[in-house]
Amino acid sequence: MTPIFRFEGIYTPVVTPYHEDGSVNWDAQAEVIEYLVENGVHGLISGGSTGENYAQTVEERLELAKFTHQQLKGRLPLVVGTGAMLTGDSIALAAGAREIGAESILLASPPYSVPTDRENALNALAIDKAADLPVMLYNYPHRTGTMMGEEFLDRVGRSRNFCGIKESSGDINRVHLLARDYPHIQLGCGMDDQALEFFAWGAPFWVCGGSNFLPAEHVALYNACVVEGNYTKGRRIMSAMMPLMHVLEQGGKFIQTIKHGVTLNGIAAGAMRAPLKGLNKDDKRALEQVVRVLKQKIAGIQAEG
């Protein structure tokens, strides 16, 4: 079955810059979007957890999605996150995504309720019906408490709109399962420290928060593995990126780290909304050192041709 939409390349779940009073810094939001477009990412995601969707109202999330769509002016595809605890909120976000002209929606399991595969699939199909857009599923059981199992995948697969999955379980056996048994649902990397393995198993896209501040380096890994098929080069780039992956995936301060990375590029990413707090001085210094070395190493690899 040919997907109705092809997710290809680096998809950045965009951060939300805030002023100190917690309001959105729209000028900085525009700067982030422009920076990502100029540095070669292939698509943007508005309203993901990296954008702090859990600390925003449905109205705020739709306002951010509309702003992002208008700022993009069709230069890149926009995926709108619909993840929410209430099905009604997800449906409102899905309908809003269609109304603003987004190309796709990101659809996660509702957190905390722990639905069965059947219940989760029926929930997903209701959200799909509201949007009637290509769907990128988001499987992140460590956050939602629910695995998108085989019964779920079989049920949602009856709609052609379900054409991609951001797999963030961390279980490499899931990569094997999806690549082998569900080839009609495009496999996407959602676990940064496994990006090389995902690409080796044919994943055509990577949703990576770190591309908010290191887009060219993330694109370099994608190009080496997917475009060039050069896994020797890809392993070298991935090796250079592993210290960053450790900071992002193991440090417990994912959003704080990404926002500080954006700030290092001269864009005022601002504070986080409660309950999160910013990095301390030691964390900032550690990230700055990791970024400095990473950039030097990958630039050297790229310069070799």
User: Residue 203 pLDDT more than 80?
Assistant: yes
Q: How many Å is the Cα radius of gyration of the chain?
A: 18
Q: What is the DSSP letter of 224?
A: I
Residue 274 lies in a domain: no
Q: Is the pLDDT of residue 165 over 70?
A: yes
- Asked whether residue 121 carries a pLDDT value surpassing 90, the answer given is yes
> What are the respective helix, strand and coil percentages of the chain, to the nearest 5?
55, 10, 35
Residue 109 lies in a domain: yes
Please name which of 210, 209, 189, 211 lies closest in space to residue 199, comparing C-alpha atoms.
189
Contact call for residues 42 and 199 (beta carbons, < 8 A): no
Q: Do residues 98 and 91 touch, judged by C-beta distance below 8 A?
A: no
3-class DSSP state of 18 = strand
pLDDT for res 1: 66
Question: Does the pLDDT value for residue 98 go beyond 80?
Answer: yes
Residue 191, domain CATH: 3.20.20.70
Tell me the pairing of strands 186-189 and 9-13: unpaired
Q: Are 254 and 209 within 8 A, CB to CB?
A: yes
| Average pLDDT of the segment spanning 196-220 | 98
Cα separation of 211 and 38, whole Å? 12
Is the CB of residue 84 less than 8 Å from the CB of residue 112? no
173 vs 196: CA distance, rounded Å:
15
Residue 265 lies in a domain: no
**Residue 134: what are its φ and ψ, rounded to 5°?**
-55, 140
Cβ-in-10-Å burial (0-12, 13-18, 19+) of 283 comes to: middle
The count of structural domains within the chain is 1
pLDDT at 192 (0 to 100): 94
Is 295 considered catalytic here? no
Beta strand pairing call for 186-189 and 205-207: parallel
What is the pLDDT averaged over residues 1-17?
93
Instruction: Give me the mean pLDDT over the 73-81 stretch.
Output: 98
**Among this protein's residues, is 231 annotated catalytic?**
no
50 is in an annotated binding site: yes
Catalytically annotated residue among 138, 140, 222, 233? 138
Residue-level pLDDT at 89: 98
**If pLDDT is split at 50, 70 and 90, which confidence band does 262 have?**
very high
Residue 151 placed within a domain = yes
Q: What is the extent of the structural domain holding 28?
A: 9-229
Is 45 inside a domain boundary? yes
pTM: 0.97
Could you tell me if residue 277 is inside a domain?
Answer: no
> 250: pLDDT confidence band, cut at 50, 70 and 90?
low
Point out the catalytic residue in the list 166, 233, 253, 259: 166
With respect to residue 242, please indicate whether it lies within any of the assigned structural domains: no
| Nearest to 64, CA basis, from 88, 47, 48, 86 | 47
Q: Which residue type occupies 100?
A: I
Q: Is residue 235 part of a domain?
A: no
Residues 173/199, Cβ–Cβ less than 8 Å: no
Determine the 3-state secondary structure of 295 from DSSP.
helix
The per-residue pLDDT for 252 is 80
